[in-house]
Amino acid sequence: MRLRNILIVIFIVSVLGLLYVQYQYLRVGLNLAAVQFDEKMAEVVIDTEEGLHHENKLSFLLGKAITRDDSYFSLSLDSVQDASSHFLDDYLKEVMVRHGVNSAYGYVLRNSDTTTYLRPPGYSGGYEKGLSYPVRLQGYLPELTGENLILELQFENLNAYFISQLRGLILPGILFLLVIVGVTVWVMRGFLKQRSLLSVTNEFINNLTHELKTPVFSIGLATRLLTEKKDVDKQEVAEIIKVQLEKLKGHIERVLELASLEEKGEVLGKSVFDLGELIMEVAGEFEGVASLEGLAFTVHNEALGVEVNGMRGHLKNAVDTLLDNARKYSKDPRKVTLGCTVKGGKAFISVADNGVGIAEEEQKKIFNKYYRVSSGDLHNVKGFGLGLHYVKHIAGLHRGRVSLHSAPGKGSEFTLQIPVR
Ligand code: ADP
């Protein structure tokens, strides 16, 4: 498995593990909250029983409601019961708040049979299915009524209540987890990018060393010939040295030129020129190479008289690079087409070949610095992986872009798009 996949698996497993641990913490938290709640309610039950044990205003009123005795008040029985349920509700609320219980509750005051005497004001049901804490009333009220009286305190869906209490912890927990995930993904992407850049850079250095070795070797050989053998044709050897030195200079210049261009990062030496003329010039130079190599070369130039404000030299180099690639990567019978059309304030300079083509997954990468497609017989073709990166850079400096249409085995068409005046 590749390092990237291993890292992704480790990361996903860690996040899932963290989520599981969080879930277990939540469960433990809920259990503890339930235990704590039970303890508080045990105290509420004791206090409530004590509060209703003796005769006082509340127990007196409750007594009248239970025994349905309206003789003491100048009120209807309904009003007495209504007032009782309100007073009892207020009293219970006060006791619970005192013990730190503030979740929604209901109550029922009943005897040990099925007779219900009182419910909370505006009672609409729903509390019976949850938890219930019965208060067995002693003293004044059972004695008055001659019955076993039970005041049941009822709660529905306590888990939702506990979770709402823990919200202050759950939300930051989720937020921090998301931040950790985001930062990790970001760091991982950077790390993987660096790694691939490193391997691509190493490949470039290998290529460059290889390319530099050949002329250096030839020059070494020629120099030895000159110093060791007397009867060599000096002119011929000097010619070899000259050609190889030119090659060496060319390699060094290409690397340095791109580096300095990237460093400056802005369009220097801009001028207005005729794009059509530039295309003619490039085409003229390429025609020589094409006929030498037996390559069919066609030009469609619609840009004569069209002006561009830019860096003529660099733009020419960019088109040259595209043509050179088309030449390098074309297949028999070799065909290369250079076209230039103008539409909607933009010039489209296209270079098409009938070459090896480029697979979909490689199409974005080939514009990266030093990148070369490393499959098939492409290794036979020399290069540093700098050309297309340079073309893209130049397009960018002209506020334009490069696009590519290609399929393996079917050839490629690169289009350089730049604004015209
Ligand atoms: P170089 O040609 O020096 O390797 P480039 O940056 O010009 O570098 O191109 C990058 C890679 O893109 C090449 O190595 C090659 O695999 C691929 N490529 C470029 N142009 C073509 C083309 N016309 N047809 C097929 N593949 C191409």
DSSP letters along 145-196, please? HTS-EEEEEEE--HHHHHHHHHHHHHHHHHHHHHHHHHHHHHHHHHHHHHHH
Q: Would you say the CB of residue 404 lies under 6 angstroms from ligand 1?
A: no
Axis-axis angle for helices 3-51, 77-98 (nearest 10): 130
The whole-number pLDDT of residue 367 equals 92
The pLDDT tens digits of the residues spanning 152-211 come to 898 877 777 777 777 777 788 889 989 999 999 999 889 888 887 887 777 777 777 777
Q: Would you say the CB of residue 355 lies under 6 angstroms from ligand 1?
A: yes
Q: Would you say the CB of residue 378 lies under 6 angstroms from ligand 1?
A: yes
* Residue 287 neighbours by CB under 8 Å, 6+ apart: 297
Taking the centre of ligand 1 as the mean of its atom positions, its distance from the CA of residue 300, in whole angstroms, is: 23
Gap between the Cα atoms of 370 and 385, Å rounded = 4
Gap between the Cα atoms of 330 and 352, Å rounded = 10
Taking the centre of ligand 1 as the mean of its atom positions, its distance from the CA of residue 284, in whole angstroms, is: 23
Apex 109 CA angle, 103 and 110, nearest 5: 140
Taking the centre of ligand 1 as the mean of its atom positions, its distance from the CA of residue 322, in whole angstroms, is: 9
Cβ pair 388, 367 in contact under 8 A: yes
The whole-number pLDDT of residue 264 equals 62
Q: Which residue has the tokens 């002119």?
A: 235
Cβ pair 415, 349 in contact under 8 A: yes
In the predicted structure, residue 17 carries a pLDDT above the cut 70: yes
Query: Which of 253, 269, 406 is closest to 329 using CA atoms?
Result: 406
In the predicted structure, residue 61 carries a pLDDT above the cut 90: no
Q: Whose CA is nearest to atom 16 of ligand 1?
A: 373
Q: Whose CA is nearest to atom 8 of ligand 1?
A: 385
Give the burial class of 409: count Cβ atoms within 10 A of its Cβ; 0-12 exposed, 13-18 middle, 19 or more buried. exposed
Cβ pair 111, 150 in contact under 8 A: yes
Radius of gyration of the CA atoms of the chain, in A: 44
pLDDT confidence bin for 117, thresholds 50/70/90: confident
Taking the centre of ligand 1 as the mean of its atom positions, its distance from the CA of residue 269, in whole angstroms, is: 28
Task: Enter the tokens of residue 147.
Answer: 């019955």
For the chain, domains (ranges, CATH) are 3-156 (no CATH), 192-264 (1.10.287.130), 271-419 (3.30.565.10)
The whole-number pLDDT of residue 283 equals 93
What backbone phi and psi angles, to 5 degrees, belong to 388?
-70, -30
Taking the centre of ligand 1 as the mean of its atom positions, its distance from the CA of residue 377, in whole angstroms, is: 12
Q: Would you say the CB of residue 370 lies under 6 angstroms from ligand 1?
A: no
155-164, 202-211, 215-224, 316-325: which is most confident: 316-325
Taking the centre of ligand 1 as the mean of its atom positions, its distance from the CA of residue 325, in whole angstroms, is: 6
Q: Would you say the CB of residue 384 lies under 6 angstroms from ligand 1?
A: yes
Residue type at 236? Answer: E
Q: Would you say the CB of residue 322 lies under 6 angstroms from ligand 1?
A: no
Q: Would you say the CB of residue 412 lies under 6 angstroms from ligand 1?
A: yes
The pLDDT tens digits of the residues spanning 371-395 come to 888 765 555 677 778 889 989 988 9
Cis? peptide before 333, omega within 30° of 0:
yes
Taking the centre of ligand 1 as the mean of its atom positions, its distance from the CA of residue 386, in whole angstroms, is: 9
Q: Would you say the CB of residue 215 lies under 6 angstroms from ligand 1?
A: no
Residue 141 has a CB neighbour count (10 Å cut-off) of 22
pTM: 0.54
Ligand 1 atom closest to the CA of 373, numbered from 1: 16
Task: Enter the tokens of residue 262.
Answer: 């990237």
